Amino acid sequence: MLTQEKQQTKQKSFFETEKPQKPFIFPKISILIGFLLLLGIGFAIYAVFPEPKSQEDELTDLITRIESGEDLPNGEWKDYCHLMAVLRDSISPQCVCVLDGINWDNPPRSPERLPEVWELIVDERDQGNRFRFKHKTYTRIVIGFDATDSKGDERPHWHRENPNKKKGQEYLDQDCNPVRSKSNPSHIYVRIRK
């Protein structure tokens, strides 16, 4: 019986003995290879894609294209207007139409319906039914709302101030053309539903 136990112990100890561990190097090498691979991809992307243009260079390119007679798509026209307003502090009548964010074919029925980019200008000359607003981003863009016409009849309408005011071109009509103050086209009427 004793010899059987010794044999079982020998068998157990033979199977239970651990082989000496070799150092496990694989994760260290794979991390190094992964890092070098990412570094290589980064350099390849940097080499393939050009450095982004500065805003001034982008504006210069857009001006050149406009002066050559090219028609810009809407997105690029908006970029041009934004860059002119920010970098040159210049807003043309065409840019007012692009940047103000209002559909002047069907203007808001009241000042409460203006987009959030407009803020009220407090002016002593304005009375209870007349309000003026400026664009929060492009402060040279100003619009006004009158609830009544010159005769005092209720007829809500808007006025768009021309940022490049000259005598006879104080306002813009609904198509962004400069027009005279108090002219019919300077009044952009609200469509009233009955």
Q: Which residues pair with 171 in a beta bridge?
A: 161, 179
Helix/strand/coil for 145: strand
Its pTM stands at 0.66
Contact call for residues 88 and 78 (beta carbons, < 8 A): no
pLDDT of 122: 85
pLDDT band at 83 (very low <50, low <70, confident <90, very high): very high
Structure tokens, 37: 């691979």
Q: How far is CA 16 from the centre of its chain?
A: 69
pLDDT of 9: 56
pLDDT band at 93 (very low <50, low <70, confident <90, very high): confident
Average confidence (pLDDT) over 80-101:
89
Average confidence (pLDDT) over 174-191:
91
Number of helices (H), then strands (E), in the chain = 5, 7
Q: How many CB atoms lie within 10 A of CB 126?
A: 15
pLDDT of 193: 63
Cα angle at 92 between 84 and 110, to 5 degrees?
110
Look at residue 14 and tell me whether its pLDDT is greater than 80: no
pLDDT of 2: 53
